[in-house]
Amino acid sequence: MGTIFDLRTLFLIGSLAGGICAVTLFASRRIHRASESGLAWAAFAQLLFSLSMLMIALRGIIPDWLSVVLGNTTGPAGMIVLYESIRRICQMPPRPGYAAAAVAGVLLLQVTLGPSLDLFATRLQITSAIQGGYAALMLPLLRRRLPADPHVPMLCAIGLAGFFVGVHLTRLIWIAAWGASATADGQFAAGLMQSTIAATFTLAPMMHAMVLMSLVNGRIAADLRRIATTDELTGLATRRHFFSRVAERIGRDGSPVAVLMLDLDWFKQVNDRYGHKVGDRVLVHFACLLRRALAPGEHAARYGGEEFCALFERATEEQVRSAAQALCDTVRTTPFEQDSLTIPITVSIGVALMREGGSVEELVSIADRRVYLAKAMGRDRVVDRTSARRAAAAGREAASGREMASPPLQSAIV
């Protein structure tokens, strides 16, 4: 059975597509710093695929040592380089030396076989064994990154690698069972199966490039979401993200929920005395203590500067206060330490229960006022609704006592 595709034209189109993909990947390498090296190597792999298809397309027109020897070297070499690209994309230790040695081995093997077309089936088997083997090596690397990367692009990458493992395995089995027929001029693999597989390979550069760019774009989107929702210094949530979490919780039935505002005491003195670099490390230290105080399902954020906020959800109102007091005590007894430097820190905490406000802004405002009250009462303490009422009552009593102790105006005049 003859070929059902014009294979020479298909390989020329595949070569052009591979070249375009190589340029696109190389030009896009700097859009994501962590993937830059991987994209550069992927561009090199696409270039090798393009050269391989071009030399195969020109078989019978250019010398056989180019179309046969180098044509069958650059294809497997492209897969070896693509594997190195995947290693870098998956943030595995790069192995350029191994890649170079493997490419040199493939070249030596093809030179040993020579340019004769009599070994047509053998060359196809060697090519499929190398390319299918390296596609199989990509699978564990990609699966290992699945929890850390965007799922859909990574699943597409795993699926594509698995697909080409299957294609190459099918060709190996087919050639072993039925051999490999050739076109009338002996230049290309013929038959329905071989022609379909050859046509599939011409689409490979575009599929590789699309999956890689999809994966990188997914990483960029994930980075942007992380930037929008995570404070860069402390790793806690941003204020905006925290507000959205609290807004989701308002109105739901369940355990007592409280919004806490936390302000490190005398933090400006830390910056003035030790510098902002040490001050930043103190903030990170406090953020770690705050994170440890959270129960599952609770959240914390950096509000701004040395101010933080948290969402506590406990079984009772007393447990909320106890958890806040425990955090206050932990901060007091866990100073920041670095080398020979020890900086004691304390925190003032204001607590607002969910039922005290109807919106996020109201709750934060209530908790913020209680932070100021905590500072006015001497700092290093927790002020909630009960303690705020006691402070207000004590203030009224003090004011009343001062009023009673003052002599009447007439007596003062006399």
- End-to-end alpha-carbon separation of the chain, Å? 129
Q: Sorting pLDDT into bands at 50, 70 and 90, what band is 93?
A: very high
Distance CA 38, CA 28 (A): 11
Half-sphere exposure of 89 (CA within 13 A, CB side): 35
- Is pLDDT above 50 for 1? no
- Is pLDDT above 60 for 308? yes
Distance CA 259, CA 363 (A): 7
- Is pLDDT above 80 for 39? yes
Distance CA 43, CA 48 (A): 9
Q: What is the pLDDT of residue 390?
A: 84
Own/partner contacts of 103-110, CB < 8 Å, gap of 24 or more, are 103/73, 103/77, 106/73, 106/76, 106/77, 106/80, 106/130, 107/73, 107/77, 110/68, 110/69, 110/70, 110/72, 110/73
Higher-confidence residue: 290 or 117? 290
Q: What is the pLDDT of residue 388?
A: 85
**SS3 state of residue 189:** strand
Tens digit of each residue's pLDDT (9 = 90 or more) over 8-25: 888 999 999 999 999 999
Distance CA 361, CA 246 (A): 10
CA distances from 84 to 95, 143, 304, 328 (A): 7, 16, 43, 51
Tens digit of each residue's pLDDT (9 = 90 or more) over 251-298: 666 567 899 999 999 999 999 999 999 999 999 999 999 999 999 989
Average pLDDT, stretch 66-79?
94
Strands of 218-369 (E only): list them.
Answer: 257-264, 299-304, 307-313, 336-338, 341-343, 347-353
Structural tokens at position 16: 């052009």
Q: Sorting pLDDT into bands at 50, 70 and 90, what band is 401?
A: low
Distance CA 178, CA 192 (A): 13
Q: Give ∠ CA 34-35-41 in degrees, rounded to 5.
A: 135
% of the chain residues with pLDDT over 90? 66
In sequence order, the 6+-apart residues with CB closer than 8 A to the CB of 408 are none
Q: What is the pLDDT of residue 386?
A: 85
Distance CA 25, CA 88 (A): 14
Query: Using the 8-state DSSP alphabet, how is residue 191 labeled?
Result: S
Q: What is the pLDDT of residue 357?
A: 74
- Is pLDDT above 90 for 235? yes
In sequence order, the 6+-apart residues with CB closer than 8 A to the CB of 47 are 18, 19, 22, 78
Q: Which residue has the tokens 């039925």?
A: 178
Average pLDDT, stretch 61-89?
94
Q: Tell me the pLDDT of the chain averaged across its residues.
A: 88
Tens digit of each residue's pLDDT (9 = 90 or more) over 369-389: 999 999 999 999 999 988 888
Half-sphere exposure of 92 (CA within 13 A, CB side): 16
Residue 335 phi, psi (nearest 5): -70, 160
Distance CA 236, CA 277 (A): 18
What sign has the CA pseudo-torsion 274, 277, 278, 279?
A: positive
Alpha helices for 58-70 (secondary structure H): 64
